[in-house]
């Protein structure tokens, strides 16, 4: 349930129930991105990713990749743009592998 709380001119404050919030989030495209970083750049890339508004989680890894990130966007076009341009701007990224989540 979405409920109007207050309205200030052209700004509206609403309350969203947990059930509705989960339903809305489930309809948003989501992806997991594996990052390889340049030597000694793991922390800088980690911090840059944690400050990105579409990043839900960032975790450091041991193994072939240095970081894994869970991201979501309002639609697939926004998700694609974020993957193709915004993340490529972050200094210290050597390589990425993107896994797009699907529903069954």
Q: Which residue has the higher pLDDT, 104 or 101?
A: 101
The predicted-structure confidence for 36-86, as pLDDT tens digits, reads as follows 999 999 999 999 999 888 888 999 999 999 999 999 888 888 888 888 888
SS3 content of the chain, % helix, strand, coil (to 5): 30, 40, 30
Q: What is the reported pLDDT for 39? A: 93
Closest CA to 75 of 38, 41, 24: 24
Closest CA to 46 of 71, 66, 72, 73: 66
- Could you tell me how far CA 24 lies from the centroid of its own chain? 15
Closest CA to 13 of 21, 2, 24: 2
Domain spanning 28-100: which CATH class is it, in words?
alpha beta
Mean pLDDT of 79-104: 86
The predicted-structure confidence for 22-41, as pLDDT tens digits, reads as follows 444 556 788 899 999 999 99
Q: Quote the CA–CA distance of 35 and 89 in Å, as a whole number.
A: 13
Inter-residue contact 34 to 97 (CB < 8 Å): yes
Q: What is the reported pLDDT for 13? A: 54
């Amino acid at each position: 349930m979405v409920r109007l709380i207050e309205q200030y001119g052209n700004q509206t404050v609403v309350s969203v129930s947990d059930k509705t919030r989960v339903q809305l989030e489930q309809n948003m495209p989501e992806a997991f991105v594996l990052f390889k970083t340049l030597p000694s750049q793991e922390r800088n890339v980690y911090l840059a990713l944690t400050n990105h508004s579409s990043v839900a989680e960032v975790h450091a890894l041991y193994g072939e990749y240095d970081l894994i990130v869970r991201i979501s966007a309002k639609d697939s076009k926004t998700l694609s743009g974020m993957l193709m341009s915004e993340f490529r701007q972050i200094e210290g990224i050597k390589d990425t592998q993107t896994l797009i989540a699907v529903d069954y």
